[in-house]
Amino acid sequence: MRIGLLTEGGYPYAAGEGRLWCERLVRGLPQHEFELYALSRSAEQEERGRVVLPEHVTRVWTAPLWAPADDGRTHSRRERRRFADSYGELVDGICTGRAEPFAAGLYGLAELAREQGGMYAALRSETAVRTVESACRAPGARRSVRQAQVADLLEFADALERLLRPLSLDWYEDLREVDVCHAAAGGVAALPGLLAKRFFGVPLLVTEYGVRLRAHYLDRPEGGRPAVRALLAAFHVRLACEIYARADLLTPGNAHARRWQERCGATRDRMETVYPGMEADRFAAVGEDPACGDPDTLVWVGRIEPGKDLVGLLHAFAEVRKAAPGTRLRIFGTAAAVPGYLADCRSLAAQLFPDEAADAVSAGENPVSFEDLGGPGTATAAEAYGSGRVAVLSSVVEGFPAGLAEAMFCGRATVSTDVGAVCEVIGGTGLVVPPRNPRALADACLSLLRDPERAQRLGAAARARALELFTVEQNVAAFRAAYLRLLARGPARPGAGVPFGQPPEARVPGHWTSPGWADPDPDPDPDAAAAAGDPAGAPAPAPTTEATV
């Protein structure tokens, strides 16, 4: 089977979201051929290079979303008129929230780009800006976009050109030859697959472990213009609804993502939850030794950013220290995503917990430590979780909490805030408290610190649940079955034949000929036959049958 894998900002690049699960999927299905179609997000990502690809990845196409893509084309008057009509429908759907004009405009632009080979100049033209302005001022436009100024219109037109850049790529012409098109994310990454389905009927599978629409709402850059944010949000809503309506199968990574998809019009008969797969072997040594780790140590592992609410965790730990003075908190973090946030957390820890010394001659030590994770000479995730008996998650925003699943593989008892898919992942094997409630977080931590046997039971149950639901093997098996289902029930495409139209026993590799013993005279003498006047004495060519390959 040939799989067309569409990615954005991840695989096959060495850095980016979604890289690990895509790599595990591709390497877990060596019996299939994969073709990669990747959109990159920055020059830094491309400079870091790509991962080593296995042999069954037969083709790799890449395109940047960050660099200018001037194709040098000039359009005729007729082409400009067609562009204005389709672009007007698209932005009308964005400004009014109507699905029909948005879809008509999107596919109209795709057909124009398919015929002409690119739309860079048109999407950045004065016509595009004036069309957006007219749509914002038209009756029925939403209040949030009516007050857009010239700077807003220019910024939105520039952003929309980058978002629509996949329409000018000829990827869907190559995707017509694949058996299943698999988009590793929603949004812009799924656009080539959406076009391949519309033009050629290729089955489309969309996987979302982090909902693109949700990520856009959460991403609010400082100084962002409200009208531009409103226009971009409307575009992402309409694009998500179109993708969910046309995809043959949606595989959200958890119920939290599933609810987002359902709110955007996805139907349950085309949805199947597939949890992300993790390498359980990395945590086996810690998970199989429940007695390892300091019973008086709390462990936090993750990216140090405001959404993880380390400030709330530190205040909760202050309450824990009042009831259990010997407790320690070890924070293992990767590079801070927000400059200055790590420094603020260190400063708060120094204020809340002055250095303590055992006697008058010993050096003082802070009960809270900040340690690097994953770098040269630093702790791995398994070693980090193995340093304590209780793992804590204090986030106020989460999708699928991968760090929580890792703690479960390590057999750690967990205390988590009720955000994202936390309750679905925990499933009763840990304690869950409301977010932004340091007192509740402290009480839950104390209950496990004071009852080691209960913590050990919860840790064992958590490890059993993780091994059942969150391994690479179950993830790969789920997608293998999904590919076969889509191929088997999908309509026959022109020139593609009927799926499984021949039984497996009809496939004989190579060519075969009749055996030599079937010829009564395997080595006749043609000269003797000719001398005897028997022209038929020359050996006839052996009959050959070509098997179905």
Mean pLDDT of the residues in the chain: 86
- The confidence score (pLDDT) of residue 546 equals 37
Burial call 156-188: b when 16+ CB within 10 Å, e when fewer: bbeebbbbbbbbbbebbebbbebbbbbbbbbbb
- The confidence score (pLDDT) of residue 495 equals 53
Q: Which is the CATH superfamily of the domain at 2-67+171-225+241-270? A: Glycogen Phosphorylase B; (3.40.50.2000)
In this predicted structure, which of 110-119, 330-339, 367-376 has the lowest mean pLDDT?
330-339
Position 530 pLDDT exceeds 70: no
- The confidence score (pLDDT) of residue 338 equals 77
The answer to whether residues 257 and 383 touch, using CB atoms and an 8 Å cutoff, is: no
- CB proximity list for 409: less than 8 A, separation 6 or greater: 278, 280, 282, 283, 287, 463, 466, 467, 470
- The confidence score (pLDDT) of residue 79 equals 86
* Domains 2-67+171-225+241-270 and 280-469 fall in the same CATH topology: yes
For the chain, domain boundaries: 2-67+171-225+241-270, 77-161, 280-469, 507-545
Average pLDDT over residues 6-32: 91
Burial call 513-546: b when 16+ CB within 10 Å, e when fewer: eeeeeeeeeeeeeeeebeeeeeeebeeeeeeeee
Average pLDDT over residues 394-423: 94
The answer to whether residues 278 and 472 touch, using CB atoms and an 8 Å cutoff, is: yes
Q: For 491-510, how does the pLDDT look when each residue is reduced to its tens digit (9 = 90+)? A: 555 555 555 555 555 444 44
Could you tell me the end-to-end alpha-carbon distance of the chain, in angstroms, rounded to an integer?
14
- The confidence score (pLDDT) of residue 540 equals 45
**Which conformational region is residue 374 in: left (phi greater than 0), alpha (psi within -120 to 50 degrees), or beta?**
left
- What is d(CA 448, CA 436) in angstroms, rounded to the nearest whole number? 20
Position 357 pLDDT exceeds 60: no
- CB proximity list for 246: less than 8 A, separation 6 or greater: 194, 197, 198, 204
Average pLDDT over residues 274-288: 93
Fold (topology level) of 280-469: Rossmann fold (3.40.50)
Position 392 pLDDT exceeds 50: yes
Q: For 121-161, how does the pLDDT look when each residue is reduced to its tens digit (9 = 90+)? A: 889 899 999 999 999 999 999 999 998 999 999 999 999 99
Q: For 251-269, how does the pLDDT look when each residue is reduced to its tens digit (9 = 90+)? A: 999 998 999 999 999 999 9
In this predicted structure, which of 84-88, 269-273, 526-530 has the lowest mean pLDDT?
526-530
The answer to whether residues 391 and 300 touch, using CB atoms and an 8 Å cutoff, is: yes
